[in-house]
A and B are shown apart, each in its own frame.
Chain A
Amino acid sequence: MSQIMGQPVTEVVDDDIAAPLLGIDQLGKRFGGFVALDTVDLSVPTGQRLGLIGPNGSGKSTLVNCISGTLQNETGSVRFNGQRVDGMPPHQRARLGLARSFQLPRPFRSMTVAENIRVPLLYTVGARHGVHLTQSELEDRCLEVLSLVALQDKARKSPLDLTQVEMRKLELARAMAAEPKLLIADESMAGLSHSEVEDIVALLIRLNQRGITIIMIEHIMRAVMAFSQRLVVLVSGRKVADGAPEDVIKDKDVVGAYLGT
């Protein structure tokens, strides 16, 4: 297989290169003197399941933060659905259809599980043009989203009473409730058991089949390989590989920088 450094292997996965859902161009971010992201390019077409891997401190989380708006990039641009989004606060990006989950679940602690789901329904779905949800529609949507992750029985519980895996599911469900076009799942499986990981992977694939583009950041290679149609590797803030998963993991640069160790 040929070298795939820094260039998408388009023939493998891209069937809609004309209008990528997410277009990242020459993205750069520094913290003081530390370069967290160094001119990263990434183009994700609608409907793709993309895996993003890299060692700790490689800039994965910084990239997610720059896409979702929790951090602002310094150079380059982020385009989403044909619109420039860098400079926008996170809530505006969320309303455009960009959702993310956090590595460590961040539930709204004073609310019930169902109320957690209501927040994006009210503030993202409800804030989109021409959408108005009535009380009963809200309730229905809440239960619908919760049943998607099999949490419907815990709707009235406090998130603090949930188990680890349930907490992760709530995190994903809250992101899902916003009816996103793109979902970024940031290490949703760290610390989970074998069957729990399979559970979440299956869930993500189900969501993808509903038409949602998904970027999954993950350390667990088994999950990454089961999920991804395309794999991107970040090392020290640079994209070192991008292509079909089975090709990327054979790439000797990737093996040297990351997987081999």
Chain B
Amino acid sequence: MRTPLFTLVMLAVAAALYLSFRFVGNDYLFFLGYVVLQYVVIATAWNILGGYCGYVNFGSAGFFAIGVYSTIFFYNIGQAPEEVFPEFLLTPMKWIFPLPLPVLIVLGGVFAGLIGLGMGYLTLRLRGVFFAIATLALAVVLETFIVNWSFVGGSRGAYVIPPENIPVFGPFIQYLFVLMLLLAVASVVAARLIERSRLGIGFATIRDDELAAETSGVPTLRLKLIATVLSGALFGMAGAPFPFYIGYVEPNSAFNLSYAVNAIAMPMIGGTTSWVGPMIGALILSTLQQVVTVTISSAVNLLITGLLLIGFVILAPNGLIGLWHDWTGRRSKS
């Protein structure tokens, strides 16, 4: 399927989803749906670097939190511009602030992408494991800075008060849901486009054999940086609307390990070599998590996620997609 057609199909599916949710008319559904879609973005973001290039990012929570805190930063400026800007800038700034949510999402993406670029530049020359370890470190360094930065709430946390209603969409959560839905569609379309492009082939050569890739003319360092920036930016964009969703953010919730684990577990369980895997993994796993969290407890839900991750990497290294191919392959033979 050509990309424009695929985009249209995805948008149609998204529209159908939104309309059917509206038809049910329960805001709780939008709250749940938001989380599931957020994980579609996160899993897709992780997979661009992890699945396509083979570089494991353990610091997903850090990139997500950059988006979260970028929003809080600009929100706080909007709350009290007179404390931030000098007199002569106040009038234009009051015109600009508060920034609309789509702009905040873009800003979150820009910051997370830039941090990804910086870290990638420091560590991507080294073997992949060092990159993985550095990403672990990055999340903690960032958390330490946030804890010590009182403007964004420090360890106390920060409140963001969303407006109750918004024109066209009605309840604010529905607006958030639509934004996340569009972001999810955009990230899946982007991932699919990359996969089939020259860039995606370059990424796959890095995953397969970096040395052979270089000698075949693939500029591996530049490609890895591109992947890190793209992936980081998507994480940041997924995190940017989060303060409005949750209302109160503290470092522990923004840097929660469950983002890092889900970011890895969802693509691994779905299958890492194509855009379908992370999406399927995110849809299945986060829906399951919502159910288990409600019916049993959130700790048990995380335990199940961890065990599923271990089980899949051992027993089904190509994820659900791999199992599906095995199964259809066997059926077509018999």
A contacts, CB < 8 Å to B: 68-70, 89-92, 94-95, 99-100, 102, 106-111, 115, 118-120, 122-124, 126-127, 174-175, 178
Contact = CB atoms under 8 A, between A and B. Distances in A.
Given A70-B211, A108-B212, A89 B219 contact: yes
Contact of A100 (B207, B213, B215, B221): B215
Interface in B182-206: 198, 201-202, 204-205
A108 B205 contact: yes
Contacts of B204: 108, 110-111
Given A106-B209, A119-B213, A126-B198, 10 more contacts: A90-B211, A91-B217, A107-B212, A108-B204, A108-B213, A110-B204, A111-B201, A111-B204, A111-B205, A123-B216
Contact of B201 (A102, A118, A127, A174): A118
B201 A115 contact: yes
A89 B217 CA distance: 10
A109 B216 contact: no
B215 A95 contact: no
Nearest to A178: B217
Contact of B216 (A69, A89, A92, A94): A94
A106 B216 CA distance: 11
11 contacts: A69-B214, A91-B216, A91-B219, A94-B214, A107-B208, A108-B208, A108-B213, A110-B204, A120-B216, A123-B216, A127-B217
Contacts of A91: 213-220
Chain B residues touching A, majority SS: helix
Give the one of B201, B218, B220 with max A CB within 10 A. B218
Given A89-B221, A122-B201, A178 B216 contact: yes
Interface residues of B, number: 20
B273 A110 contact: yes
A108 B205 CA distance: 6
A115 B195 CA distance: 13
Nearest to B54: A110
A129 to B, nearest CB: 14
Given A110-B207, A122-B198, A102 B217 contact: no
Give the top 10 A-B pairs by smallest Cβ distance, nearest first.
Answer: A124-B217, A123-B217, A90-B214, A106-B212, A108-B208, A94-B217, A120-B216, A119-B216, A123-B218, A91-B219
A70 B213 contact: no
Q: Which interface residue of A99, A118, A123 has the most chain B CB atoms within 10 A?
A: A123
B269 to A, nearest CB: 19
A124 B212 contact: no
A34 B219 CA distance: 30
Contacts of A119: 201-202, 205, 213, 216-218
A174 B216 CA distance: 8
A119 B200 CA distance: 11
A127 to B, nearest CB: 6
Interface in B153-182: none
Nearest to B273: A110
A175 B208 CA distance: 17
Nearest to B217: A124
Interface in B211-241: 211-221
Contacts of B208: 107-111
A70 B215 contact: yes
Contacts of B273: 110
A122 B214 CA distance: 13
A179 to B, nearest CB: 11
Contact of A109 (B209, B213, B215, B218): B209
Contacts of B205: 108, 111, 119
Contacts of A90: 211, 214-215
A214 to B, nearest CB: 16
Nearest to B199: A122
A174 B209 CA distance: 14
B217 A95 contact: yes
A109 B204 CA distance: 9
A203 B240 CA distance: 58
A120 B214 CA distance: 10
Contacts of A108: 204-205, 208-209, 212-213
A143 B208 CA distance: 22
Nearest to A119: B216
A67 to B, nearest CB: 11
